[in-house]
Amino acid sequence: MEEEQPMLKRTDKVQYLKGVGEKRAAQLSKLGIVTVEDLLRSYPRDYIDYSNPCGVLEAPYETPCVVRATVFSRQAPVRVRGGRTIYRVNAGDDSAGLTLTFFNSPYAAQKLEPDREYLFYGRIGGGFGRREMTAPTFIPADASHPLTAVYHQTQGINSAYLSRLVKEALEALPAEAFDDPLEEPLRRRWRLPALADALRGIHQPSSLEEAKRTRRRFAFEELYCLELGMKLLRSRSSRSTGAPMTHCDPAPFYASLPFPPTGAQRRAVEEMRRDFCGASPMNRLLQGDVGSGKTLVAAAGMAMAAQNGYQSVLMAPTEILARQHAQTLDRLLGPLGLQVALLTGSVKGKARRTLLEMVANGEAQVVVGTHAVLGDAVNFAHLGFAVVDEQHRFGVRQRGLLAGKAENPHLLVMSATPIPRTLSLLLFGELDVSILDELPPGRTPVRTIAVGSALRGRMYGFLEKQIAAGHQVFVVCPLIEQEEGNDSSELQAVTAYRETIAAKLLPGRRIGLLHGRMKPEQKEEVMRALAAGEIDLLCSTTVVEVGVDVPNASVMVIENAERYGLSALHQLRGRVGRGAAESFCILVSDNDSESVRERLTFLCHTSDGFAVAQYDLDHRGPGDFFGKRQHGLPTLRVADAATDARMIETAAAEAADLLHRDPELAAPEHAALRLAVERLFDAAGGTAVN
């Protein structure tokens, strides 16, 4: 009796699918595809719509388009230098001929049958009488599904192969394999298709409308699972605090200051004080524009923690910023008799051992450092309050590691990059939010101007006047050395800029250099000289974006300004305007695209960091908003923080409602949903519900 083939499961390895051997499986794993579930969740990145083809002659040049043509014949293969083989196919219609060219792809050329009509997708080149198309994708003209999915590819795995695998998987999976993480009432409420229908609809849509409809379902599912995971992280951290505080009075700290705090600072400190005195540990995000005084709020928290016998720690992303914070905190907390210690990777030998001993015995009441504070050798006597600055550079996991230095300490994460509400819901769903929306007295807006490089000579005349008046200047370049990047010839490199432009246009002036490849002691010497007024103009990369506080600096020049997001430009602009003198930010760019002009003009007329951040998110997306991907934040494959803003809020509200009814997602009917949340966070190395 013949044994029945076992039913395919979503958790099965892709090797269960026909034609997937070890080599193919290894190639698929590079795309993150190990199981059938991974395959089905690798959604198309785009679609080719073959439904409106044009004739060969009317096809636009150098623009992706679909052309209907009949195959006439195949040319003999031609071997060229480098071991490549070119395969050409002759095709055309009544209007013109079309030569189809394939490199090292005999299979594609052989699939095209003479005297048969096809729809070809690609870019048209060539002359009037004989047009060309290189490496087109194609389907028979009489194909029943004119909409074709396009997938992310890797060597040996193309989009057509993935389409075939997906089709096989969908046909082989039994109905019970589609265990939907979204409950039917939720789907009905928001008109979302069931999982089985949605998977077929997103991989094999009959129309672009169906593709959009199913994309909406998976975008909602991603955001829903992300919000659930973030809220579960929060609930997990809401257990009893290991640092209970009963006496939290900021009045002595306020009395020691040489100036009164702003109303926004007092409000944030009060929110923190209430958290300190609660039963659960504080988990709070402090947002504030450049110069709004976030460090003072953190210092107030450290003073209150010390009142209760607890140590505090502040973690910063760079040594420059850590040193800056240590100096500021020493100035703010020294009058109260608190000992501030600086722990970075450059502290070695006996000095490090002494410092670690001070931390371990509680002599160091406030510890400031880089990621070095996460080291196994760093042990606190009574850590009760942890602060993470420039939080988007660390992410969920490192915040958790820092908080893990004690049992449920209070946690404050600070951001000098104002974050729009929708993105804040995505990134910090586990945190309460305090906002500093008021600048201290004396901070005046920086005047921002956009110019082309043709005006650099006049600009340097202005810089000379500023230096002659006793002020200092920053110039920021995108590269360290000229050989970086393929388009580096168009970009300013800071090492060459210092000699060929700055020194030439400012003869006799003291010009410094700062970039990320310099040794810590070299950076420290440059910063010391800058603070002491021994440098007139500092040529730097974006290492000055954070941690540089030079009240005497009055001008920030940013070369190739089009290379940065507006939030990054706003951060750089915040390095000046910290003193009493009128300050300027000059954006230098020769890029004449309309979008670049609009962005730079917007910045010239806006000093509100939150407005800048929202513009950046709307026009560039969250990836460009932060520059680098979040550590510990799950990657969203379908949802988009800019275009799905309303959906984010809906998903957050639905997640809150569900967790109110089932706080741990422990109900049997939520098993598939819990698994989906775990899968999302496991892919990022997080632990939302484990």
Q: How far is it, in rounded angstroms, from Cα 140 to Cα 39?
A: 26
DSSP-derived letter for residue 635 is P
Whole-number Cα distances in Å, 483 to 479, 515, 588: 9, 15, 21
Q: What is the pLDDT of residues 310-324, one digit of tens each?
A: 999 999 887 878 888
Write b or e for each residue in 332-355: b if 16 or more Cβ atoms lie within 10 A of its Cβ, otherwise e. bbeebebbbbbbbebbeeeebeeb
Q: What is the pLDDT of residues 532-575, one digit of tens each?
A: 899 999 999 988 765 567 889 999 999 999 998 888 899 899 88
Quote the pLDDT of residue 628. Answer: 39
Q: How far is it, in rounded angstroms, from Cα 141 to Cα 118?
A: 4
Please name which of 269, 276, 226, 230 lies closest in space to residue 408, comparing C-alpha atoms: 276
Q: Are 335 and 283 in contact (CB under 8 A)?
A: no
Q: Name the residue with tokens 């997602």.
A: 665
Return the CATH fold of 51-142.
OB fold (Dihydrolipoamide Acetyltransferase, E2P) (2.40.50)
Rounded mean pLDDT of the chain?
86
Q: Which one-letter amino acid corresponds to residue 187? A: R
Q: Are 651 and 181 in contact (CB under 8 A)?
A: no
Q: Name the residue with tokens 């004739």.
A: 55
Q: How far is it, in rounded angstroms, from Cα 403 to Cα 286?
A: 16
Domain boundaries, the chain: 51-142, 447-606
According to DSSP, the β-strands at 410-415 and 283-288 are parallel
Q: How far is it, in rounded angstroms, from Cα 192 to Cα 134?
A: 40
Tell me which CATH code domain 447-606 carries.
3.40.50.300
Q: Which one-letter amino acid corresponds to residue 280? A: S
Quote the pLDDT of residue 624. Answer: 44
Q: Are 203 and 166 in contact (CB under 8 A)?
A: yes
Q: What is the pLDDT of residues 477-498, one digit of tens each?
A: 998 876 544 444 578 889 999 9
Query: Token pair of 648, please?
Result: 């984010």
Please name which of 398, 423, 413 lies closest in space to residue 631, comparing C-alpha atoms: 398
Tell me which residues of the chain have a pLDDT lower than 50. Answer: 1-5, 484-488, 623-632
**pTM of the full structure:** 0.66
Q: What is the pLDDT of residues 410-439, one digit of tens each?
A: 989 888 777 776 666 666 666 788 888 887
Q: Which one-letter amino acid corresponds to residue 539? A: C
